[in-house]
Structure 1
Amino acid sequence: MGKLSLRLPAPDLAASAFVLHVLLHQVVIIVARVTTSYRAVEMGLSDIWIGAVGATFSLLPLFLATQVGARIDEKGARGAFLVGTGGVLVSALGLLTTGNSVIALLGWTGLLGTGHLLCLLSQHATAADQATDAARGRMFAYYTALISFAQILAPLVVAVFAGSGALPDTGRLFAAAAVAGLISLGCVLFMRHPGKPARDGKSAAQLPIRQLLRQKGVVPAILAGVGVICAIDLLVIYLPVLGAQALIPASAIAALLMVRALASLLSRLCFGWLLSRLGRRVMLTGSLLATGLGLTVLGIPVPGWALALAMILIGIGIGMATPISMSWVTSAVPPTSRGLVLSLRLTGNRLAQFLLPMSVGVVATGAGVSSVFLLLAAGLYGSAYSSYRALRPSAGSDAAG
């Protein structure tokens, strides 16, 4: 009994620290990025520059992701957790103290994106460290549910500090992000980090990237998540811009983001039940269609209640598609290559996140911000069709997590 009483608190503390880190990290990222968009509007930057600032968030991660993933497979996640969380904290402090020029916004946003990459891959490796595919699917559903909960908290933070005007107090918001970043750095010290996987022979060695991409299901799973990630990114970047142009108060924009996150959270809590009844093919295709439909509504003139309905559709779509693609891609490769395949997935996401804001920034300048949402909706409709064709029914595949 004495041994049990000494050992039980440590795993509880470690799990609590991981949960708190996931929540706080997402809050920091969302608050910092939303506030950066408001700061850019405050500075009078054009839509092209706003797109450029958004794109720098994904620039360095685009080149670093595979190296980071391979290193996590070899060395474990602790170092990446520490460096990533520290980088996010420094970038939040930098935006608070010196984020008053285009160069500063570009630089600190780039560091923010790099820290986010390190933290995400470390969190993914921790969540993927499960014994079975079913357990891994459930863990990713819980993990993404935590992210959804954080995406509810972050707009609440924005709403608390925003006031009633169309533009919030950006200084106070950056300060709130820095405080949350400091606490999340402390959480890393109490977490249990997955060690490097055992390598019992040649079959257990990390697969080369080319061979990894040839594994069944890897490429379709990576591509399925790209459009959904872009939807999240563009909502964070351009929904505040749309609100400012339409004179929608910042608190109302924050409420819409909270509605989206709440819908994602609720859908993820039902994830296992729905997956066992509908299967991966129907759920993934339906989630992409729902996200596309919601973005279409955002891109056309509609009343306020329709905007809320659109965010619910987007939230449900994002909530379902993300854990499906994550569990699918990690189940398709050996344990010694999970960090690398997750980094490849993230590389695809970051490539789209880098190119898309720049492209849609040009489109928004000529056709308006609403065209950004219509453009992405069209891409998601195409992705839904290709995913439906790629996920042909096979024995046991639909039930897989």
Structure 2
Amino acid sequence: MPEFRHRHAVLLAHAAGTQIVTFVLRPTMSYRAIELDVPPAWLGVLGASFALAPLLLALPAGHAADRYGERRMAVAGALFLTAAAIAFTTIGHTVAGLVAAGILLGTGHLGSVIAQQALVANTTERGRHDTAFGHYTFAASLGQAAGPLLIAAFGGQAAIPDTGSIFAASCGLSLLLLALSALLPNHPTGRAEADGGDLRALLRLPGLAHALLTSCVVLAAVDITLAYLPALGAELGLTASAVGLLLTLRGLASMTSRFFLGRLARAVGRRRLLVVSTLGAAAGMLLTPVPMPLWLLAALLVVVGFGLGVGQPLTMSWLAESAPEGMRGRAMSLRLVGNRTGQLFIPGAAGLMAAGLGTGGVLFVTAITLGWAGIAARRLPVDP
């Protein structure tokens, strides 16, 4: 038991550390681009450089995690994150250098996340995946919240922080993550077992399409909320501090639902919890653009955040228990491909469809899409 707790603590620390490094470097990359007077259109290119690796390399990375073990994949991911931090420091004074560093960052993040999710899937007893993935995503959310604090520490009252110092500090953080990677356990399946599996076996899993759909729509809804809530606040006359409070409440609500996910799933049932939470988030987002008192808007954002926090860990848990032995790394990577595809296309599609309706229209379309995903989740098997 003490050894299990030690390994569990190392895994959670690794998950939080990966997100800290990523959520320090990604915004700082944008600040550096602003320093270089990069045209706004190029900011999208920089963002796409991070998403490119998961789309192209996710399935091979999942196969490698299954075959060679999670620790080796985590070490490889940390090495790429370290290389990204060094690249930002040394060649990040040009647009080409920022793009190259962004690709390294996306690759390192991919390797680390695949290793973590495969490790949770392979080392958790059947029936406890909901709790395990809830705690895992809670730690990741904690890292995502802590990362920007480093930017604030270096930024002070300036509009643009000291990007050079942040990049240098990120090198040290990446090296710490590399040390943590070496402490993770390893569960390679070997050539025979890993090669004996077939991706088509995953694609034939009952309910797979609905699980991937729900996962990618929920993640896209989180991104849209982060991007459009400040714009909605400006339309409603809210202060920047009020919008920051709303985003904080949304994030805290998501972390709460993830921390207690195991108990909620046991009390309500996994499929019912996924459906109700997704539909609840859709209903809350649908009402968000309506003018109302700030306290009521805050309560709605708590509902939205709580519901959006459930989708990711529950679909991970479902995939972990559904995937054949020796293919769980590939199952997690398949989910990641779906997520990144949704992040690339759903926000753009929502913006195009609601171009004439303003920010409220974007949130309306997102809420409808989220409701559709919640209804689709009813077709998931009750248990894998």
Q: Say whether the fold is shared (TM-score over 0.5).
A: yes
1:117 to 110, 123, 126: 110
Task: Map Cα deviations across residues 106-139 of structure 1 (whole Å, 9 max, x no partner).
Answer: 3322221111111111001110113632122321
2:218 to 210, 217, 228: 228
1:75 to 65, 68, 75: 68
Are the counterparts in 2 of residues 228 and 291 from structure 1 also a CA contact under 8 Å? no
Q: Residue 284 in 1 paired to residue 277 in 2?
A: no
Are the counterparts in 2 of residues 360 and 372 from structure 1 also a CA contact under 8 Å? yes
Match of 1:17 in 2: 10
In 1: Cα distance, 2:25 partner to 2:372 partner: 32
Decide whether aligned partners of structure 1 residues 121 and 14 sit closer, same or farther in structure 2, where only a CA change above 3 A counts: same
Decide whether aligned partners of structure 1 residues 193 and 240 sit closer, same or farther in structure 2, where only a CA change above 3 A counts: farther
Give the fraction of aligned pairs with identical amino acids, expressed as a percent: 34
Match of 1:4 in 2: none
Opposite residue 282 of structure 2, the aligned amino acid is G
Q: What is the total number of aligned residue pairs between the two structures?
A: 383
Q: Offset at 1:236?
A: 5.8
In 2: Cα distance, 1:341 partner to 1:145 partner: 21
| RMSD (Å), alpha carbons | 3.7
Q: Residue 194 in 1 paired to residue 187 in 2?
A: yes
In 1: Cα distance, 2:180 partner to 2:119 partner: 14
1:217 to 201, 207, 232: 207
Question: How do 1:16-165 and structure 2 match up within 5 A?
Answer: 16-40=9-33, 48-130=41-123, 132-164=125-157
Question: How do 1:202-351 and structure 2 match up within 5 A?
Answer: 206-234=196-224, 256-293=246-283, 295-296=285-286, 308-309=298-299, 311-351=301-341
1:391 to 357, 368, 380: 380
Match of 1:353 in 2: 343
Opposite residue 127 of structure 2, the aligned amino acid is A
Q: Offset at 1:255?
A: 5.4
Q: Which piece of structure 1 moves more, 190-199 or 376-385?
A: 190-199
In 2: Cα distance, 1:305 partner to 1:171 partner: 40
Opposite residue 330 of structure 2, the aligned amino acid is L
Q: Offset at 1:253?
A: 6.5
Opposite residue 328 of structure 1, the aligned amino acid is W
Gap runs ≥5 in structure 1: 1-7
Are the counterparts in 1 of residues 232 and 289 from structure 2 also a CA contact under 8 Å? no
Q: Offset at 1:10?
A: 6.5
Are the counterparts in 2 of residues 23 and 147 from structure 1 also a CA contact under 8 Å? yes
Match of 1:381 in 2: 371
Counterpart secondary structure, 1:336: coil
Q: Offset at 1:368?
A: 6.4
Gap runs ≥5 in structure 2: none
In 1: Cα distance, 2:135 partner to 2:184 partner: 17
**Normalising by the residue count of structure 2, what TM-score does the alignment of the two structures yield?**
0.82
Are the counterparts in 1 of residues 275 and 377 from structure 2 also a CA contact under 8 Å? yes
Are the counterparts in 2 of residues 127 and 140 from structure 1 also a CA contact under 8 Å? yes
